Amino acid sequence: MLEKARTFPCDVVVLDLEDAVAPMAKDQARAQVCAALKDYGNREVVVRINPLSSPYGAADLEAVRRARLDAILLPKVESAADLEAAKGDIALWAMIETPRAVLNLVEIAAGGAACLMLGTNDLLKSMRGPPLPDRRNLWGVLSQTVIAARAYGLGVIDGTYNDIRDTQGFAESCAQGRAFGFDGKTLIHPSQIEAANRLFAPSEAEIAQARRILEAFAHHPGHGAIALDGRMIEQLHAEEARRLLDLAQAIAERQA
C-alpha cells in the first residue's frame, strides 16, 4: 500500500499510524512509515499519529519530526492545548471528530492548525447518531467546520464516504461537500480518486463563466456592480471568479 500510493493521482497521501494499525504492530508500522516518507512526487505527505495521550503518541511525534513530511495529522483534537503540545516546525492538521472538538472549533482554528479535517465516522459514533444518506444530522457541523476554517484562513477537508461500491452516493457526497465549502474529501479507496478530483475541481462551465465575469468587469472599470445575462454581479463575484481560475490553473500545473 505504501508503494502503490506513490502512483495515485491524488493531492495528499495520508499514512496512518492510528486506526489502521493494531496495537501490537505500532512500533513496526512507525518504522515502516518513516522509512517510506520519500519519493511521493508532487503529492503532499501527511502522517496521522496516535493521540499524544496514548502510549504511542509521543514516540510517533518524535519519529515523524525527524522524517521528511509536509504535515502531521493529529487525531481527536479537542482544544488548542492539544495543538500546543505538538507544535514544532512541521504544519499540524487537526481532526475534528468529537463533540468537544465541535464546541471548540473556533479555539482550534485559531490555535495554530493549518487544516481542519472532519472525522465523521467517529463524530457520529460519539453523537450516537446513525449515518444518513444526505448527512442531514451533520449539516450544522459541516457548516461550522468550514466557517471556522475560513475565518482563520485554514484548509478544510470533508470526511470519508464508506460504501466503496456506491459510486452515485459518493459523487453526491462530494458535490455536497463542495457546496458546503470544503476544499476536498478524505478517501478510503483508490477507486474514489477520479470522482473526487473531478467534482472538487472547477468544471469547464464554471471556468467559462468566471472568465465572462472578469471580462465584463474589465469592460466596466471602476464599477462596483454590473449586469451580466440579466443578473446583477458585484465585485465579490469577480473575486470568486479569480479564485476559481487560480484554482483551475494550479490543478492544470499539478497534472502537467
Domain CATH number, residue 23: 3.20.20.60
pLDDT in tens, 33-62: 999 988 888 889 999 999 999 999 999 999
Task: Report pLDDT for 251.
Answer: 86
For helices 167-180 and 193-200, the axis angle rounded to 10 degrees is: 30
Task: Tell whether pTM > 0.85.
Answer: yes
How many domains would you assign to the chain?
2
* 217 in the same domain as 188: no
Average pLDDT over residues 189-212: 95
* 217 in the same domain as 148: no
* 227 in the same domain as 112: no
- Domain span including residue 108: 4-200
- 91-96 and 71-74 beta bridge pairing: parallel
* 226 in the same domain as 168: no
Among 200, 224, 246, residue at a domain's last position: 200
DSSP category for residue 138: G
Helix (H, G, I), strand (E, B) or coil at 111: coil
Among 185, 200, 215, residue at a domain's last position: 200
* 178 in the same domain as 239: no
* 85 in the same domain as 49: yes
d(CA 48, CA 75): 7
Average pLDDT over residues 72-78: 97
Task: Report pLDDT for 61.
Answer: 97
